[in-house]
Chains A and B, each alone.
Chain A
Amino acid sequence: MAALVVAEHDNKMLKPATLNAVAAAEEIAGGDVDILVAGNDCRAVAEAAAKIAGARKVLLAEDAAYEHGLAENVAPLAVKLAENYSHLLATATTSGKNLMPRVAALLDVMQLSDISAVVSPDTFVRPIYAGNALATVQSKDPIKVITVRGTAFPPVEASGGSAEIEPVETTGGAGLSEFVGAELSKSERPELTSARVIISGGRGMQSGENFHLLEKVADRLGAAVGASRAAVDAGFVPNDYQVGQTGKIVAPELYIAVGISGAIQHLAGMKDSKVIVAINKDEEAPIFQIADYGLVGDLFKILPELADELERRQ
Chain B
Amino acid sequence: MKALVAVKRVIDYNVKIRVKADKTGVETANVKMSMNPFDEIAVEEALRLREAGIVSEIIAVSLGAAQCQETIRTALAMGADRGVLVQTDAELQPLAVAKLLKAVILEEDPEIVIIGKQAIDDDSNQTGQMLSALLGWPQATFASKLKISDGHAEVTREVDGGLETVSIKLPAVITTDLRLNEPRYASLPNIMRAKKKPIATTTPEALGVDAAPRLVVLKVEEPAKRQGGHKVGSVAELVDKLKTEARVI
**A219 contacts the other chain (CB 8 A):** no
- A residues near B13, Cβ cutoff 8 Å: 264-265
Please tell me which stretch of A35-43, A59-67, A203-211, A274-282 contacts chain B, meaning at least 4 of its Cβ atoms lie within 8 angstroms of it: A274-282
- A residues near B93, Cβ cutoff 8 Å: 110
- A residues near B218, Cβ cutoff 8 Å: 123, 136-138
- A residues near B118, Cβ cutoff 8 Å: 246
Tell me the bound Cα distance from A232 to B162 in angstroms. Answer: 12
**B249 contacts the other chain (CB 8 A):** yes
Select the residue from B95, B172, B249 with max chain A CB neighbours within 10 A.
Answer: B249
Chain B 208-244 against A: per-residue CB contact (8 Å), 1 yes, 0 no? 0000011111111111001011111011101101110
Number of A residues whose C-beta is below 8 Å from B?
90
**A105 contacts the other chain (CB 8 A):** yes
- B residues near A283, Cβ cutoff 8 Å: 231
Decide if B163 touches A182 in the complex (CB within 8 Å): yes
Decide if A137 touches B249 in the complex (CB within 8 Å): no
Please tell me which stretch of A82-90, A153-161, A303-311 contacts chain B, meaning at least 4 of its Cβ atoms lie within 8 angstroms of it: A303-311
Within 8 A of B (CB), among A169-194: 174-185, 193
Tell me the bound Cα distance from A104 to B94 in angstroms. Answer: 11
CB distance from B39 to the nearest CB of A (A): 13
Please tell me which stretch of A18-26, A50-58, A93-101 contacts chain B, meaning at least 4 of its Cβ atoms lie within 8 angstroms of it: A93-101
**B130 contacts the other chain (CB 8 A):** yes
Decide if B249 touches A197 in the complex (CB within 8 Å): yes
Tell me the bound Cα distance from A245 to B75 in angstroms. Answer: 24
- B residues near A240, Cβ cutoff 8 Å: 158-162
Tell me the bound Cα distance from A275 to B11 in angstroms. Answer: 30
Total A-B contacts with CB atoms under 8 angstroms apart:
257
Chain A 292-303 against B: per-residue CB contact (8 Å), 1 yes, 0 no? 111110000010
Chain B 150-166 against A: per-residue CB contact (8 Å), 1 yes, 0 no? 00001001111111111
CB distance from B223 to the nearest CB of A (A): 5
**B248 contacts the other chain (CB 8 A):** yes
Decide if B95 touches A254 in the complex (CB within 8 Å): no
Which of A72, A93, A130, A177 lies in contact with B120, CB distance below 8 A?
A130
- B residues near A1, Cβ cutoff 8 Å: none
Decide if A95 touches B249 in the complex (CB within 8 Å): no
Which of A106, A239, A274 lies in contact with B248, CB distance below 8 A?
A274
A109 and B139 in contact (CB under 8 A), knowing A140-B216, A306-B238?
no
Which of B117, B166, B222, B228 lies in contact with A133, CB distance below 8 A?
B222
Tell me the bound Cα distance from A141 to B213 in angstroms. Answer: 10
Decide if A180 touches B129 in the complex (CB within 8 Å): no
**B98 contacts the other chain (CB 8 A):** yes
- B residues near A108, Cβ cutoff 8 Å: 95
Tell me the bound Cα distance from A99 to B127 in angstroms. Answer: 12
A295 and B243 in contact (CB under 8 A), knowing A239-B144, A245-B120?
no
Tell me the bound Cα distance from A75 to B172 in angstroms. Answer: 16
Tell me the bound Cα distance from A7 to B168 in angstroms. Answer: 24
**B90 contacts the other chain (CB 8 A):** no
- Taking Cβ atoms with an 8 Å cutoff, the residues of A that contact B are 68, 70-72, 75, 93-95, 97-106, 108-114, 123, 127-141, 174-185, 193, 197, 221, 229, 232-233, 238-240, 245-246, 248, 253-254, 264-265, 271, 274-277, 283, 288-296, 302, 305-306, 309-310, 313
- Taking Cβ atoms with an 8 Å cutoff, the residues of B that contact A are 11, 13, 16-17, 19, 26, 38, 93-95, 98, 117-118, 120-134, 137-142, 144, 154, 157-169, 172, 177-179, 213-223, 226, 228-232, 234-236, 238-239, 241-243, 246, 248-249
